[in-house]
Amino acid sequence: MDALRAISIFVRTAELGSFRKAAEAQATTPQAVSKTIRQLEQHLGVRLFHRTTRNSSLTEDGERLLASAKPNLDGLVEAISRARSAVTDDEGLIRISAAGSVGRKVLMPLLAEFQALHPSIQVDLLMEERFTDLVDGRIDVGFRAGMAPEAQVVVRRLFGIQQIACASPAYLAAHGVPGSLQDLLQHRCTGYRQPGTGRPVPWEFDVDGEMVHRHLPAVLCSSEPETEMHAVLAGMGIGQIDSINAAAAIRSGALVPVLAAHASERMGLYIYFAQRADMPGRVRRFIDFAVARLLGSDAYRVPAAQLRSLEKAFRTGRKTSAARKQS
């Protein structure tokens, strides 16, 4: 016996006071309604209706069952209705995972704009550096900077992330601008340490289409990319900073790219999510919104030609300044 269906038919029959009217409301026959009620009575071991050829009325046991069942049934029906409508609803919670820099610099402006359009949608943003499993973390949408996730999920690359060697103008004015990768050994450099393993990450350069890695002694090593960038901004040395963190500072002149011709763009920002036919509408809306705003965006990278131009302009400015001083 389908207990939920039987209770539903019982409540409907009790409200309408007629097996025939209940059958019409349920789009079934009076015989089917009567059979369901009998099965429910046998299951409970009580009589629920006084029956006559013309109508029916509740027994005392039936009245007690109606009083306790109807409020719970109404709540259950509402819950089922809301669950079904979640596919198209413009309300509810979205759980998102991202690393710290991505969450603060990329997602916060995006989420502010999205929630202005959809104020009834709430966001739970999980910020952690490691890859988050969607199922284990109960995550709807994940963002990952670096290489594409290898899990069984839908993955889309949104834009390339550059690894840019850069320094503050004050540091370069005091210590000079490196002209080759080998020159970096004569400079003070900062470093990044993987939070999970504790290992220093080598610098990565593009040399004629080949990825070349260099381990450089670090005057400061941090396990948080934004902290390393602040050290570089403070003039502590040259650092290789990802473009999500460095792009705005480079465009403003607070940082100057060096060895720009060798900036690597092997990594990227990826969005990933589970492939599911019953994806809630609010999640699909956010995914479509994020892809529309971020796909191919130059907001968090600096085109290669612009990097080289900025480096050249700084070198030219230094030479001009030096010549003026000599004259």
The reported pLDDT for the residue numbered 245 is: 95
The reported pLDDT for the residue numbered 85 is: 53
Distance CA(195)–CA(206), nearest Å, equals: 25
CA torsion through residues 24, 29, 31, 32, sign: negative
Question: Model pTM?
Answer: 0.72
The reported pLDDT for the residue numbered 111 is: 96
Closest CA to 264 of 147, 132, 127, 150: 147
Distance CA(205)–CA(240), nearest Å, equals: 10
CATH of domain 3-85: 1.10.10.10
H or E segment at 308? helix 304-326
Q: Where in the chain is the domain with CATH 3.40.190.290?
A: 94-327
The reported pLDDT for the residue numbered 70 is: 81
| For helices 30-44 and 3-16, angle between their N-to-C axes, nearest 10 degrees | 110
Q: Check if the beta carbon of residue 221 is closer than 8 Å to that of residue 193.
A: yes
Quote the mean pLDDT of the chain.
88
Lowest mean pLDDT segment, chosen from 1-10, 128-137, 215-224: 128-137
The reported pLDDT for the residue numbered 110 is: 96
The reported pLDDT for the residue numbered 82 is: 60
- The more confident residue out of 50 and 141 is 141
The reported pLDDT for the residue numbered 249 is: 97
The reported pLDDT for the residue numbered 306 is: 95
Q: Are strands 121-127 and 190-192 parallel, antiparallel or unpaired?
A: unpaired
Which residue has 């900077």 as its token pair? 145
Residue 266: which pLDDT band, with cuts at 50, 70 and 90? very high
Average pLDDT of 45-65? 82
Q: Where in the chain is the domain with CATH 1.10.10.10?
A: 3-85
Residue 325: which pLDDT band, with cuts at 50, 70 and 90? low
The reported pLDDT for the residue numbered 324 is: 62
Is residue 238 classed exposed, middle or buried when 0-12, 13-18 and 19+ CB atoms within 10 A define those classes? buried
High-pLDDT (> 90) share of the chain, %: 55
- The more confident residue out of 215 and 83 is 215
198-233 confidence digits (pLDDT tens): 899 999 999 999 999 999 999 999 988 999 999 999
pLDDT of 87 over the 80 cut: no
Q: For residue 9, how many other CB atoms are within 10 A of its CB?
A: 25
pLDDT of 294 over the 80 cut: yes
The reported pLDDT for the residue numbered 321 is: 66
The reported pLDDT for the residue numbered 44 is: 86
Distance CA(221)–CA(240), nearest Å, equals: 12
CATH number assigned to the domain with residue range 94-327, chosen from the 4 options 3.40.190.290, 3.40.640.10, 2.40.50.140, 3.40.950.10: 3.40.190.290
- State CA 119 to chain mean position distance: 18
pLDDT of 133 over the 90 cut: no
Q: Check if the beta carbon of residue 137 is closer than 8 Å to that of residue 183.
A: no
The reported pLDDT for the residue numbered 77 is: 63
88-120 confidence digits (pLDDT tens): 567 889 999 998 889 999 999 999 999 999 999
